[in-house]
Structure 1
């Protein structure tokens, strides 16, 4: 088998099984594990997968620019946002993490809602500027341009002073074994601080981000109180998350 054919086979197995193991690929393809590791390394360098210990997982689509991510799965994000907005209660202090799905949440918060929203996302702060009863607290920091969110020491230090009732976490990658991960180290530190300062954490996850991984770990799956996803996501796809005791919310009426 030619190198290109072998790597195409690896990608086909990855898409089918959502993960590949070096030992199994070595046995099936009858090549050394060193050869498989080299294949995985070069496929990772082209952005086609995420290497992990012993093999590889699907790579998160969240590496795209903010503008491109706004075009990804718009109907799914709309359904997730509509469901997630129902979790916000009057009088709460809510952290809205940066992201295109969390931005959608702002569009479904009732006009009669009285709450405080803390965010590191300039687009979210602007979207809530006209809401009559929501107080908006904008977290400072360095703008991470690719994701349009503030990160860094200033962001984290401010979050350490906050005790929120609820955090709506923008999830780049979610995997039952790896947990929550992101493509940027500064973003990982900010998300970790958001989780630490919140009584409940809601992960907003589209189907394409399930069973994927990114380079920087935020927390384990158990950091989430709820996982909100679209009604089109199959029970089979969610079975591993349910087995870990995660409460999954889908609006079956969408």
Structure 2
């Protein structure tokens, strides 16, 4: 089997099964594990898979640059945002992560809703200018890929926050890889913010479900719920629930 055909097959298996075990597929195809691992390294380098111990997981399309992500799954993000807004009680203090799903949440939030929003995203903060909500912006070094503040100064500022809710954005929600993102500093910032809220909810539009990125943020059982946009009968929801995730339905 030619290398191109092998890679196509590996990608099809990732889409179908949500993971690849190098030893198993090498045996199935009558190839060496080294050949499969080489293919997986090349798929990883191309951003089409994420290599893990023993195999690979589907790569998340949500690791693209910020401008590109605005056009990815906009309807799904709006559905997630509407379900998330319903969790915000009047007068609540809410930490809002950066990203395009967080921006969709701002759009869904009624402009007269009384609450306090804390965010490390200047784009999210500016989108709240016409809202009644009080807005506090956490500063630090700007991570331009996601338009959020990260680094030591941002983590230190986050340590002084106390909130009712944190809406967490990730690029991957996977039954075994858990909640992941594409940058280690951004992952650390997300953990710091989650530690400052009574409840953390994940904003999971459909392109993130079953996908994974390089850096782990939190385990599925370390958040209060995952606002997941998928068919209620979808296999990925069953797998996430079996792995310990609490799922918030999106209507």
What TM-score, normalized by structure 1, do the two folds share? 0.94
- Aligned residue in 1 for 2:4: 4
* Offset at residue 235 of structure 1 (A): 3.3
- Aligned residue in 1 for 2:181: 182
Q: SS of the counterpart of 1:72?
A: coil
For residues 70 and 160 of structure 2, what CA distance do their matches in structure 1 show?
31
Alpha-carbon contact 1:94-1:116 (below 8 Å) kept: yes
* Offset at residue 129 of structure 1 (A): 1.4
Q: Structure 1: where are the runs of 5+ without partners?
A: none
Mapping for residues 10-159 of structure 1, pairs under 5 Å: 10-132=10-132, 134-159=133-158
- Aligned residue in 2 for 1:199: 198
The CA deviation string for residues 99-124 of structure 1, in whole angstroms up to 9 with x for no partner, is 10011111222233221110011111
Alpha-carbon contact 2:206-2:230 (below 8 Å) kept: no
Matched residues, number: 251
Matched, 1:214 2:213: yes
Q: SS of the counterpart of 1:88?
A: coil
Alpha-carbon contact 1:143-1:151 (below 8 Å) kept: yes
- Aligned residue in 2 for 1:229: 228
Question: Which of 221-230 and 234-243 deviates more?
Answer: 234-243
The CA deviation string for residues 4-60 of structure 1, in whole angstroms up to 9 with x for no partner, is 222221111111111100111110111111121111111111111000010000001
Q: SS of the counterpart of 2:239?
A: helix
Q: Structure 2: where are the runs of 5+ without partners?
A: none
Q: SS of the counterpart of 1:78?
A: helix
For residues 138 and 109 of structure 2, what CA distance do their matches in structure 1 show?
20
* Offset at residue 231 of structure 1 (A): 5.3
For residues 49 and 153 of structure 1, what CA distance do their matches in structure 2 show?
30
* Offset at residue 179 of structure 1 (A): 1.1
* Offset at residue 234 of structure 1 (A): 4.2
The CA deviation string for residues 126-179 of structure 1, in whole angstroms up to 9 with x for no partner, is 1111212x1100010111111111111111111111121100011211111111
Q: SS of the counterpart of 1:213?
A: coil
Alpha-carbon contact 1:207-1:233 (below 8 Å) kept: no
Alignment root-mean-square deviation, CA: 1.4
For residues 7 and 137 of structure 1, what CA distance do their matches in structure 2 show?
47
Q: Which runs of 4+ in 1 moved over 4 A?
A: 231-234
Alpha-carbon contact 1:141-1:155 (below 8 Å) kept: yes
For residues 5 and 71 of structure 1, what CA distance do their matches in structure 2 show?
30
Residues 221, 231 of structure 1: alpha-carbon distance in 2 compared, 3 angstrom cutoff = closer
Q: SS of the counterpart of 2:179?
A: strand
For residues 245 and 92 of structure 1, what CA distance do their matches in structure 2 show?
27
Alpha-carbon contact 2:78-2:108 (below 8 Å) kept: no
What TM-score, normalized by structure 2, do the two folds share? 0.95
